[in-house]
């Protein structure tokens, strides 16, 4: 059974449609990639799954249960975590405090959880006292990922993790995600504009264009920019 099943999902901002009958699923342990240009609906889709955007039609099943009636907090408790576009770390808190805040009220052993997550992030371990706002964009992205992982999500939604980040740190983020998925126990939905990043991580890749997600891009075509542009709604 898929861990996440999105069926006929639609969403709109007022009268303007943003998602139109989106269908896809993610099986346990899978990395599913969704490729799309600016304004195509990627963030709306991530935020709709997390519960921040009201949907106008369709269904979202997590572990076989509808999560549409559930609040954002209830979805987080059920095991869904969002790493938002723009990272949204707390600029005035230290790296360590950023990691602690999200789990402060969950009853877990905070120090042990943070230490366990930091094993995956050697770069952050060296920056624990640094203010979030003083980190580079790439370091902030690593922090945002680590903060999400402190909640031990079963499903992690990654919204454009490479946006505005240097290629060298993108490689580090990709490596971190590979180690994480190789350990098992986590499923990832990754939305991106960065073809190389998505092709290196995702087992299945879909294209989203103007809120429509109905085409899977065959793996062998991911190395062909022209074929990818066509899937993404551009004919070159």
Ligand X SMILES: Nc1ncnc2c1ncn2[C@@H]1O[C@H](COP(=O)(O)OP(=O)(O)OP(=O)(O)O)[C@@H](O)[C@H]1O
Q: How far is the CB of 178 from ligand X (least distance, A)?
A: 24
Residue 42 makes contact with ligand X by CB under 6 A: yes
> Per CB under 6 A, which region of 10-18, 71-79, 104-112, 220-228 contacts ligand X?
10-18
Instruction: List phi, psi (to 5°) of 108.
Output: -80, 165
> Per CB under 6 A, which region of 35-43, 115-123, 176-184, 215-223 contacts ligand X?
35-43
Please identify which residue in 1, 15, 38, 129 interacts with ligand X, judged by CB under 6 A: 38
- Enumerate residues 156-195 that contact ligand X by CB under 6 A: 160
CB 54 within 8 A of CB 11: yes
In angstroms, the CA 52 to CA 71 distance is: 9
Of 6, 38, 13, the C-alpha closest to 157 is 6
Q: For 59, how many CA atoms within 13 A lie in the half-sphere containing its CB?
A: 9
DSSP state of 94: B
User: Cα 205–211–213 angle (5° rounding)?
Assistant: 30
> Per CB under 6 A, which region of 11-19, 92-100, 102-110, 164-172 contacts ligand X?
11-19
Residues 114-153: x where in contact with ligand X by CB under 6 A, - otherwise, as a string: ----------------------------------------
Residue ranges in contact with ligand X by CB under 6 A: 13, 16, 18, 36, 38-44, 85, 160
């Amino acid at each position: 059974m898929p861990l996440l099943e999105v069926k006929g999902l639609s969403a709109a901002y007022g009268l303007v449609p943003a998602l139109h009958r989106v269908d896809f699923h993610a099986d346990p342990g899978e990395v599913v990639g969704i490729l799309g240009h600016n304004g195509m609906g990627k963030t709306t889709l991530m935020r709709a799954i997390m519960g921040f955007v009201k949907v106008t039609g369709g269904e979202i099943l997590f572990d076989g249960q509808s999560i549409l009636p559930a609040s954002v907090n209830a979805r987080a408790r059920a095991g869904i975590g969002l790493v938002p576009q723009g990272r949204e770390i707390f600029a005035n808190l230290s790296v360590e405090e950023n990691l602690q805040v999200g789990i402060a009220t969950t009853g877990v052993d905070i120090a042990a959880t943070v230490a366990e997550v930091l094993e995956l992030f050697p770069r952050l371990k060296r920056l624990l006292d640094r203010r979030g706002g003083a980190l580079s964009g790439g370091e902030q992205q690593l922090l945002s990922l680590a903060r999400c992982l402190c909640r031990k999500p079963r499903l992690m939604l990654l919204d454009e993790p490479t946006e505005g980040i240097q290629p060298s740190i993108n490689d580090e983020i990709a490596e971190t995600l590979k180690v994480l998925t190789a350990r098992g126990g986590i499923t990832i939905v990754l939305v991106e504009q960065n073809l190389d990043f998505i092709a290196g991580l995702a087992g299945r890749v879909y294209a989203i264009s103007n809120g429509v997600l109905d085409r899977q891009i065959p793996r062998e075509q991911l190395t062909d920019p022209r074929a990818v542009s066509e899937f993404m709604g551009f004919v070159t």
